[in-house]
């Protein structure tokens, strides 16, 4: 079943074309890794899907909910704000820089949105949050504050915070780029566990071995376009395009 559909999305910033007609789909329970050089538009793509940026052209839908489409006249039509708010709750996002709320305890970072956005009772939200922290192996950090956490712990709290809203699709924007290798492993382990539970995920990453091992499908972006898309085997073992070959060579040299 199709969970996310992105069609012919264009986005430019001050005349600088960052996305030039990107189309892809994600099915329920699928893990899609997006790889590509810096500036290829990967992050912008995630930000557009999560409504942090508005697209200039194209269509995005989540399940049966159309978030934005382009009319016959070429005009981009976003759904009404109320509808967008509802669709947004089907999506979760984890940032490179965690963006935890520093004035809230770990527990409150996770319960705040379920209580004040989703309207769940505090007791229920708390129970759910503690369960998520157990999954993240952070149950002893419930009352800690973000400044007391390592980067890996912070990112796992951010993942728990996103999961607490029970999104249909979870997006990761370079979740380990701010972490050293050891902490990267902690975070990747958590994402791997989510993949085993068939959480639908789209992960922008520079961790090639992770993409290869965990993703069901890999998308290679360059210059604001999807250059190649396929199974990890197709992408990493039998790359077709010269650009992908050149990109992978940089990593194998390391």
Closest CB to another protein among residues 116, 233 = 116
Binding track, positions 158-197, relative to another protein; x by CB under 8 A: x--xx--x--------------------------------
> By three-state DSSP, how is residue 95 classified?
coil
- Rounded to whole angstroms, how far apart are CA atoms 67 and 240? 33
Binding track, positions 205-234, relative to another protein; x by CB under 8 A: ------------------------------
Residue 225's beta-bridge partner residues? Answer: 222
Restricting to residues 11-70, which ones interact with another protein according to CB under 8 A? 50-52
Give the nearest distance from C-beta 102 to another protein in angstroms. Answer: 5
* CA torsion through residues 189, 181, 96, 99, sign: positive
Q: What element of type H or E holds 19?
A: strand 16-27
Closest CB to another protein among residues 79, 99 = 99
The neighbour count for residue 16, using CB atoms within 10 Å, is 8
Give the nearest distance from C-beta 76 to another protein in angstroms. Answer: 20
- Rounded to whole angstroms, how far apart are CA atoms 193 and 138? 15
181-196 vs 151-163: helix axis angle to the nearest 10?
Answer: 20
203 binds another protein (CB under 8 A): no
142 binds another protein (CB under 8 A): no
**Token pair of 125, please?**
């939200």
Among 88, 135, 206, 212, contact with another protein (rule: CB under 8 A): 88
Give the nearest distance from C-beta 36 to another protein in angstroms. Answer: 22
99 binds another protein (CB under 8 A): yes
80 binds another protein (CB under 8 A): no
169 touches 90 (CB < 8 A) = yes
Closest CB to another protein among residues 79, 225 = 79
DSSP 130-174: HHHHHHTT-GGGTT--GGGS-HHHHHHHHHHHHHTT--SEEEEES
- What are the backbone dihedrals phi and psi of residue 58, each rounded to the nearest 5 degrees, phi first? 120, -170
Please work out the total of residues on this chain that contact another protein, with binding judged by CB under 8 A. 28
Among 31, 55, 100, 203, contact with another protein (rule: CB under 8 A): 100
Binding site for another protein (CB under 8 A): 50-52, 85, 88-89, 91-93, 95, 97, 99-103, 112-113, 116-118, 145-147, 158, 161-162, 165
């Amino acid at each position: 079943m199709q969970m996310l559909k992105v069609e012919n999305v264009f986005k430019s910033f001050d005349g600088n074309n960052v996305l030039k007609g990107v189309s892809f789909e994600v099915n329920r329970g699928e893990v899609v890794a997006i790889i590509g050089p810096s500036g290829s538009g990967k992050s912008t793509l995630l930000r557009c899907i999560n409504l942090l940026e508005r697209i200039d052209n194209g269509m995005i839908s989540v399940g049966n909910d159309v978030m934005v489409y382009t009319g016959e006249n070429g005009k981009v039509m976003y759904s009404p704000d109320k509808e967008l708010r509802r669709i947004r709750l089907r999506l979760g996002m984890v940032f490179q820089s965690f963006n935890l709320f520093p004035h809230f305890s770990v527990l409150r970072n996770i319960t705040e949105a379920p209580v004040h956005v989703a309207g769940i009772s505090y007791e229920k939200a708390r129970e759910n949050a503690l369960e998520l922290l157990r999954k993240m192996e952070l149950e002893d950090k419930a009352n800690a504050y973000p400044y007391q956490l390592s980067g890996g712990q912070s990112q796992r709290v951010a993942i728990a915070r996103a999961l607490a809203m029970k999104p249909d699709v979870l997006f990761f924007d370079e979740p380990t780029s701010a972490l050293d290798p050891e902490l990267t492993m902690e975070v990747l382990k958590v994402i791997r566990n989510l993949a085993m539970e068939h959480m639908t995920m789209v992960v922008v990453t520079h961790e090639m071995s992770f993409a290869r091992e965990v993703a069901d499908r890999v998308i290679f972006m360059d210059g604001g376009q999807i250059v190649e898309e396929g199974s990890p085997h197709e992408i990493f073992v039998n790359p077709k395009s010269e650009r992908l070959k050149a990109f992978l060579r940089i990593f194998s040299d390391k």
